[in-house]
Structure 1
């Protein structure tokens, strides 16, 4: 089993504590159901789980009512919280050019000559592309766009991501 981020709480909706969730999974209908308990990261919960009581869909996003979140005031504090589930590793196998976050985290990032740059600590999801956040020893994290022009190979078995970066990218 691997813990996989399936959504991020975006904002409250209405006065009854419902929350709009940004989908970060390939199977949202299965992942967002009443009764599902999510592990959390970020916000005031300090890792405490959230259990979905109600789920309804609006404009392609789930609006979820969680146990213990009775109103808008409580819901407001949950903005940005990441929701995770334990997923069977067999389900994480994606298309050849797609990679689940859980498979990329902790991989070593190396340049074309094999020199170690750092280790993937998380993946940030943006409107245009994903960004690898790479932890580097004694330096600030590197932000590497996860785009075909820069990512040459992802070798999960070897535990590496080979990159071809433009000059100066790591100096930012």
Structure 2
């Protein structure tokens, strides 16, 4: 099973919820009638409607009829079967990336600059979070211009960072 979203706070009084999207195709994934397994297991949720509001996806499920019921599902992850996911070359689960070596390439060749800690999912874009070899945490916009290569099999990620991105916060 793959996580496609995490339920956030209720929106309004009729059971609508905000979600943290974890799929590259939310408009195809979140269609009326779609069913989602839940983690922790709270049974299947059937999508009634989906709409965008201020860059945030709002979902309504048949099983969540009011704000109180929606609140019970806060932080629940929505799952789909792995075979329901279209295989994309540029899509990874965050657990596949955790622990990968982060490298940059310069005049001296490739060198390690850190190790991936996690991926923070955002509304506008995701952030790759890694521990720099100097000890500080670095937040990198997870976009192709800055992260041109992800090689899970080789255990590394190549960055092409703009100047200053890897500097410590107090620099």
Report how far residue 86 of structure 1 moved.
4.1
- Could you tell me the TM-score, scaled by structure 2's length? 0.65
Q: Which runs of 5+ in 2 are unaligned?
A: none
Q: Which runs of 5+ in 1 are unaligned?
A: 40-46
**Whole-angstrom CA distance in 2 between matches of 1:50 and 1:62:** 20
SS of alignment partner, residue 153 of structure 2? coil
2:4 maps to: 6
Report how far residue 147 of structure 1 moved.
2.8
For residue 150 of structure 2, the aligned residue among 132, 135, 154 is: 154
**Whole-angstrom CA distance in 1 between matches of 2:12 and 2:136:** 40
2:79 maps to: 84
For residue 105 of structure 1, the aligned residue among 80, 84, 97 is: 97
Change (3 A) 1:118 1:66: farther
**Correspondence 1:67-82 to 2 at 5 A:** 67=63, 69=64, 71-76=66-71, 78-79=73-74, 81-82=76-77
1:42 maps to: none
Larger deviation, residues 58-67 vs 147-156: 58-67
1:145 maps to: 141
**Whole-angstrom CA distance in 2 between matches of 1:164 and 1:108:** 14
RMSD over aligned CA atoms reads 3.6
**Whole-angstrom CA distance in 2 between matches of 1:85 and 1:121:** 21
2:36 maps to: 36
Conserved 8 A contact 1:121-1:135: no
Report how far residue 81 of structure 1 moved.
4.8
Larger deviation, residues 118-127 vs 80-89: 80-89
1:19 maps to: 17
Where does structure 1 differ by over 6 angstroms across 4 or more consecutive aligned residues? none
Conserved 8 A contact 1:21-1:64: no
- Could you tell me the TM-score, scaled by structure 1's length? 0.65
